[in-house]
Amino acid sequence: MRQGPRNLTPRLPATLTTALAALALWAAWLGWDQHRDVHPDGSTTGPYEAWQVIGLVLTLLVPVYWAAAKGYFADAVLGTSAGLTVAAFYDWSDDSSGLYVIGVGMVMIGSLAVTAGVTAVVAAIHRDRPPTPPSR
């Protein structure tokens, strides 16, 4: 059974919820690690380890799935991307080279693309399910 067109208009509470979740998860996974690792050959890596970024991505699936499953597609994409962009800007803005703006832009574009893809997958999964009755 085909449903009517979905409402893609953002709703402020859902957008704020996903944005605040993204900010909090960034702080939990990446916010505490601010030092680069210096190797014996003089090269540096970091400040983040791969497991931190993977943990952030996996835990961000929860609020994105929640919003998309409720039909808040634009909120899932816009809120998560806005939260990650603000967190990256705040976290990286002390870089004296000014190149942090490029990184923040990459976070914004990447998070928009990935959350749009995840939201589309969740929408496809939930498209064939019957609507749940309202709770009393």
Taking only the tens place, the pLDDT of each residue in 36-89 is 777 788 777 778 888 999 999 999 999 999 999 998 999 999 999 999 999 999
Share of the chain above pLDDT 70, in %: 87
pTM to 2 decimal places: 0.82
Query: Does residue 2 sit within a domain?
Result: no
- The number of distinct structural domains making up the chain is 1
Q: Which domain holds residue 27?
A: 12-31+47-127
> In whole angstroms, how far apart are CA 133 and each of 82, 86, 130, 136?
32, 37, 9, 9
Mean pLDDT of the chain: 86
Query: Does residue 4 sit within a domain?
Result: no
Query: Does residue 53 sit within a domain?
Result: yes
Query: Does residue 134 sit within a domain?
Result: no
Query: Does residue 67 sit within a domain?
Result: yes
Query: Does residue 82 sit within a domain?
Result: yes
